[in-house]
Structure 1
Amino acid sequence: MGNRFEIDGEEVLDGEVKPFGNSAHVTVPKRWRGADVKVVRISEPTEEENDE
């Protein structure tokens, strides 16, 4: 099991990191524009995603 983090926040979103050019992104609701966010990786990337 990984590390445990405690974060105070307003809302939690489960998502998947998707390819985006030479990088990757996570889509969040438009209403989050301008908000401060934190992204926590909860699993290891698959081999296919590491092929850079």
Structure 2
Amino acid sequence: MANRFEIDGEEVLDGEVKPFGNSAHVTVPKRWRGADVKVVRTTEPTEQNEE
């Protein structure tokens, strides 16, 4: 069962986490530079961590 979160915000962006070196990232619009953001994972990861 998923948790439910309530977040006050200005805009929602659906995206996919992509590999980035030894980490991963989500790309957001350039106009969001300098803004505070929150990232919420909505599904289980499909790839296993390689450590």
State TM-score, norm by structure 1.
Answer: 0.90
Question: Which structure 1 segments of 5+ residues have no match?
Answer: none
1:43 CA drift (Å): 0.3
Tell me how large the CA RMSD over aligned residues is: 1.0
Query: Percent identity of the aligned residues?
Result: 90
Distance 1:37 1:17 in 2: 15
Helix, strand or coil for the counterpart of 1:50?
A: coil
- The offset of 1:38, in angstroms, is 0.1
Query: C-alpha offsets along residues 16-44 of structure 1, whole Å, 9 cap, x if unaligned?
Result: 00000000000000000000000000000
Q: Quick one: distance in 1 between partners of 2:21 and 2:50?
A: 14
With normalisation by structure 2, the TM-score equals 0.92
Name stretches of at least 5 consecutive residues in structure 2 with no aligned partner: none
Is residue 2:19 matched to residue 1:19? yes
Aligned residues: 51
The alpha carbon displacement at 1:13 in A equals 0.0
TM-fit CA distance, 1:49: 4.1
